[in-house]
Amino acid sequence: MNAPDGPGAELADTLSRLRRILRGLQSAGLAALPRGTRTEQAAAQAEPVPGSSVEKAEDALRLTRLQMGDCRRCRLHGQRSHIVFGEGSPAARLVFVGEGPGFEEDRTGRPFVGKAGRLLDRMIRALGMRREDVYICNAVKCRPPGNRVPDSHEIQACSPYLFMQIEAIRPAVICALGACAAQTLLGTGSAVSRLRDSVRFWRGIPLVCTFHPAYLLRNPAQKSAAWQDLVRIHRILNEADEVF
Ligand code: URA
């Protein structure tokens, strides 16, 4: 029998390409496809379309911030200047999660605006994106004194808000920056060096763990490893693009 041509052949070809992509994602461990189809167009709109997934994400983020209020659920509230909730696009396909605000972030109320933030900006640009295309937040929203690592009580008190933020956005991929973010999302005590060996998942969303930018500033030899993690993120974003 002759192979079909015309529109039939085109459809068969598209279906076989789609099958190949899905098989590839499945063998990479993807259990479920990310929910929602946010087009580049919708993402680029300053005003979200009423009733769209972007508007719902924006509302959910606003509600999460309202629920936090003037949070005093842990002792970190005592010395903070600002709650650093997070910022970026509610339509983000990539969410970065850091540890907690530092001095500059506490002063300004914005995440990753200090030295480590400047390196994160370069990482975002390496992915062909702008800071306003992604969403950036932290495991804890108030600065731990002296930039110490947040303790388990502080993380437990704050992580529900982090989870609500990510659920609101449901990005195509999450990037955990450093051990605190990775361990909070994955509920594990494993080291980043081990967690970055494969794509993990948070509630069905691919999660790539990499080194914290502040760690990379202290250990520049690890930048090539972080680069590999960015390549992995880029690939996941491209694969999600091909599916939708
Ligand atoms: N380090 C973090 O983990 N988060 C910030 O917002 C800034 C520095």
Task: Yes or no: say if 243 and 33 are a contact pair by the CB < 8 Å rule.
Answer: yes
Distance in Å, CA 97 to ligand 1 centroid: 9
Domain boundaries defined on the chain: 38-243
Q: Is the pLDDT of residue 221 over 80?
A: yes
Q: Which atom of ligand 1 is closest in space to residue 84's alpha carbon?
A: 6
Half-sphere exposure of 149 (CA within 13 A, CB side): 11
Q: Which atom of ligand 1 is closest in space to residue 98's alpha carbon?
A: 3
Write out the two tokens for 144.
């731990």
**pLDDT for 150-182, tens place per residue?**
999 999 999 999 999 999 999 999 999 999 999
**With a 6 A CB cut-off, is 111 part of the ligand 1 pocket?**
yes
Determine the residue type at 91.
Answer: A
Q: Among 76, 82, 99, 154, which is best to mutate for testing ligand 1, by the most ligand atoms less than 8 A from CB? A: 99
**pLDDT for 185-214, tens place per residue?**
999 999 999 999 999 999 999 999 999 999
**With a 6 A CB cut-off, is 144 part of the ligand 1 pocket?**
no
Distant-in-sequence, close-in-space partners of 40: CB < 8 Å, separation ≥ 6: none
pTM of the model: 0.82
Q: What span, in angstroms and rounded, lies between the C-alpha atoms of 219 and 182?
A: 19
**With a 6 A CB cut-off, is 90 part of the ligand 1 pocket?**
no
Domain 38-243: assigned CATH number: 3.40.470.10
**With a 6 A CB cut-off, is 213 part of the ligand 1 pocket?**
no
**Pair type for strands 205-210 and 200-202:** antiparallel
**pLDDT for 72-95, tens place per residue?**
999 999 999 999 999 999 999 999
pLDDT at 47: 74
Report the percentage of the chain scoring pLDDT > 90: 77
